[in-house]
Amino acid sequence: MSNVQISPSLMTMDLDKFKTQLEFLDQHVDSYHIDIMDGHFVPNITLSPWFIQEVRKISKRPMSAHLMVTDAPFWVQQLIDIKCECICMPAEVINGLAFRLIDQIHDAGLKAGVVLNPETPISVVEPYIELLDKITIMTVDPGFAGQRFLASALQKIVALRALRDQNGYKYLIEMDGSSNRAHFKMIDEADPDIYIVGRSGLFGLNDHIDTAWSQMVKDYEEITGKKLNK
């Protein structure tokens, strides 16, 4: 049986069925993944801290914010103000700020993470890796749903697990990008702790969220040979 956590990317959900989908998913998922893009770090603009507050009116599950922004301190403070459970910052823009931002998040009683884009090596976060609660590995280029899956990025998941085992680090390892039937086998072999599922892996499988969820579970179990305990 698989103990992986499932975190749907709400950027790809059907907003016409916002309440219905969240009420169903709350019975099955471990957390929600909230993409926050500023139009500068990536060209798209998506969700916001306000959206997290709207989700909280319906959901009891923890939320993890994935920042794709150039001004990390501005957004981190907003997310601290609304007590977003986990704040994941872009490793590419927090050099020189990482220690103080991680401390700021932890001092607020929240979890701090970083996100590594496909071209970004693990070495970028090694100076503060022992402080992290989560590391997200992008297996697609950031900013848009439906990007090409980059299998080479999975090697970083394997390396991060080895580093954690060797050093007793506490971070969870999350993968973000094209988590679906076509890639479940490769992802399972890399062995992340958290799968982010979006349009191709969940919301696009069927117009009805219960049917889409059942199909996602079936796909995972058929491809990996493991039962998904959800």
Q: Is 27 part of any domain?
A: yes
Whole-structure pTM value: 0.94
Annotation says 176 is catalytic: yes
> Which of 134, 126, 111 minimizes the C-alpha distance to 196?
134
Q: Is 171 part of any domain?
A: yes
Edge to edge, what strands does the sheet with 32-37 contain? Answer: 5-8, 194-197, 172-176, 134-138, 111-116, 86-90, 63-68, 32-37
Q: Is 229 part of any domain?
A: no
Rounded Cα gap, residues 46 and 55, in angstroms: 15
Q: Is 230 part of any domain?
A: no
The answer to whether the annotation marks 177 as part of a ligand binding site is yes
Of the candidates 38, 176, 193, 219, the residue annotated as catalytic is 176
Of the candidates 35, 38, 193, 219, the residue annotated as catalytic is 35
Structural domain count, the chain: 1
Annotation says 38 is catalytic: no
pLDDT, one tens digit for every residue, the chain (230 residues): 679 999 999 998 988 899 999 999 999 999 999 999 876 666 566 778 999 999 999 999 999 999 999 899 999 999 999 999 999 999 999 999 999 999 999 999 999 999 999 999 999 999 999 999 999 999 998 755 556 799 999 999 999 999 999 999 999 999 998 999 999 999 999 999 999 999 999 999 999 999 999 999 999 999 999 999 88
**What CATH number is given to the structural domain containing 122?**
3.20.20.70
CB atoms within 10 A of CB 30: 16
Q: Is 190 part of any domain?
A: yes
Helix (H) or strand (E) holding 63: strand 63-68
Angle at 87 between CA 49 and CA 180, to 5 degrees: 90
CB atoms within 10 A of CB 96: 7
Range of the domain at 124: 5-224
